[in-house]
A and B are shown apart, each in its own frame.
Chain A
Amino acid sequence: MNSFITATGSYLPARVVSNEELAQKLGLTPEQIFKSSGIRQRHWAAPGEITSALGCAALRKAGVSTEDIDYLILGTMTSDRFIPGSAPAVQAALNLREVPCLDIRQACCNTLYGLQLANALVTSGLATNVAVCLAEVQSTFLTVSPQAGTTSMLFGDGAAALIVSSEGEVGALEIVDVHLATDGKYVDDLGIRAPGSQFNGRAEPQDYVPRMNGQSVILQASRRMLSACQTVLDRNSLSIDNVSWIVPHQANANLLTQLARGLKLKDVSRVVSVIENTGNTSSASMAIALDTLWRSGTLRPGDYVLMPGFAAGFTWGAALCRVW
């Protein structure tokens, strides 16, 4: 049995925060932000606009009947509340049936983990239409000051939804393969420490905000995403020349350029990039980019789409899909 992405949707909050608005507060110039990240603007949620609300908006954009969804996976780092996760909130807000609802927290690899889980659920017969919802409201976690300038300049809010089904019509994306891997020794190079049992009672204020060792992230992400792409291509007897589109996690435009160079792409326009206008939306970024590609009308039957990602953990991987 196969599984297919049969619908996509995405949502960005209305408020646009430009580099010009943000730069001075971060002790940077707009040009510094753009040069080091490729980002010109990001969307930030309005006060009271919470993660599950963004997820609901993206699911509505996917245009599927809520009655048809029989499993919900929600990927986020910024859940509405600590327990339960945000999937039950989406279930209630959209009036879904009383289906299983699962939060996953693999950060910027949530799209890949969501696709692998959805693929397994559908191909095993446990579910027929899985909604993979990716949503982040990161702006409320950011420290908008020069002390955190190079981190806070990167992140935006947004959401996307992918519907993974057992039957796909012409134009659907068959999930061909998903490869995932982890090396947990980099736990402190990217992430947020608290709240967590390791720090309860002794967490410092900085433990509640994102921490990032940029050098380690760049070095490992560049290598690991490349090797994940190669792993997926090798085990499906394909080369990069067989791939029509690369839809990476949108971490940093310079990282996308590095990836294109590493893959020896002859045509860099095959790398789908939305980061200039969205910033890094973490869990949602890859799926927002995929939704953008889906709606562009450029996908053709037989096209292979390769989706590499890298996240806190570190964890990384790549998905391979084919247009049906």
Chain B
Amino acid sequence: MSLPQPVIEFLNNNAATLGVPQVAVDLDLFKSGALDSFALVDFVTVLEEHCGIRVPDAEVVPANFRTIEDIDRYVSSRRLEL
């Protein structure tokens, strides 16, 4: 897992705000209510700031960010393209 701590903290804090106590790496963030569409927009900004990647607008789709494992895979793929 290569996601920086501020990224994980954002997810945990957002989930706690929405009443989801624990974010496991394979938890479906949308189905569990840990992340909604508006929060995802903010989350992508956090990812860009802390992972040194640029997320193209067309790639801001739930499939890329459904679980922490998905997010980690996506970030790694974006880094390879840099």
Contact = CB atoms under 8 A, between A and B. Distances in A.
Interface string A194-223: 000000000000000000001110111011
B46 to A, nearest CB: 12
A222 B38 contact: yes
A216 B63 CA distance: 11
B62 A222 contact: no
A220 B37 contact: no
A244 interface: no
Residue among B42, B60, B61 facing the most chain A CB atoms (10 A cut-off)? B60
A214 B41 CA distance: 14
A254 B38 contact: yes
Interface string A211-244: 0001110111011100100000000000000000
B47 interface: no
Interface residues of A, number: 16
Interface string B32-68: 0000011011101100000000000110111000000
A261 interface: yes
Residue among A183, A220, A222, A227 facing the most chain B CB atoms (10 A cut-off)? A222
Contacts of B40: 219
Interface residues of B, number: 12
A64 to B, nearest CB: 39
B60 A214 contact: no
A100 interface: no
A312 to B, nearest CB: 16
B57 A218 contact: no
A262 interface: yes
- For the residues of A in contact with B, the DSSP-based class is helix
A223 B37 contact: no
A255 B62 CA distance: 18
Interface in A37-59: none
Nearest to A254: B38
A151 interface: no
Contacts of A261: 42
A258 interface: yes
A214 B42 contact: no
Interface of A: 183, 214-216, 218-220, 222-224, 227, 254-255, 258, 261-262
12 contacts: A218-B38, A218-B41, A219-B40, A219-B41, A219-B60, A219-B62, A223-B41, A223-B44, A224-B57, A254-B38, A258-B41, A262-B41
